Amino acid sequence: MIALTRIDDRLIHGQVATQWVREVHADKIYIVDDETANDEFATMICKGLAPLRTEVFVLHEDKAAEALKEVDQKQDVQALILVKGPGALIKMLNGGLELKKVIVGGMGKRADRKAFYRSISVSDEEIDQFQSMIEKGVDLQCQIVPSDNSIPVSKLIKKQ
């Protein structure tokens, strides 16, 4: 089953490997990102950063929904889905994958992004994508680490 879906443009890093994987008891990590899937070296790095006994799979965005629907049906799997931004999640939702809850984590500063919440920056397009996800019934929460309180993205959008 899908234990956690997280937006984090760093994909696998310290917080994910040491806190989020443990928090949801993930035994598999599914990275959904075309750039990473097309780069053998980046894929190898992601697999090397995962905690011991945690398998890592890197999927193309257009194929992820079908693959993850099967994963979600497996009760003996605790899967953590990682994406760099909301665009990949929109593709999965449009592909028929049901996402009940998504945690927005690290989204770093870029020229097209503005400060949103703590270390999270978003573009206008990403805010529109968040709104679309909320309208589709996704519980979208900002939460940097598991010990933080989560903040509904809908409340943060209203403040923009």
Report yes or no on whether pTM surpasses 0.85.
Answer: yes
C-alpha closest to that of 60 among 89, 31, 87, 80:
31
- The mean pLDDT value for 131-159 works out to 93
For the stretch 72-110, pLDDT in tens is: 999 999 999 999 999 999 999 999 999 999 999 989 999
The structure tokens listed for 31 are 């990275």
Please give the mean pLDDT across all residues of the chain: 93
Q: Is the pLDDT of residue 160 over 90?
A: no
* pLDDT of res. 159: 63
Q: State which H helix or E strand residue 124 sits in.
A: helix 124-135
Q: Distance between CA 48 and CA 113 in Å, rounded?
A: 30
Reported confidence tier of residue 125, pLDDT bands at 50, 70, 90: very high
User: Could you count the other beta carbons within 10 Å of the beta carbon of residue 4?
Assistant: 21
* pLDDT of res. 32: 98
User: Could you count the other beta carbons within 10 Å of the beta carbon of residue 129?
Assistant: 21
CATH assignment at residue 19: 3.40.35.10
Between 18 and 46, the higher pLDDT residue: 46
Rg, the chain, Cα only: 15
Number of domains comprising the chain: 1
Residues 6+ positions from 39 with CB-CB distance below 8 Å: none
The residue range of the domain holding 89 is 2-159
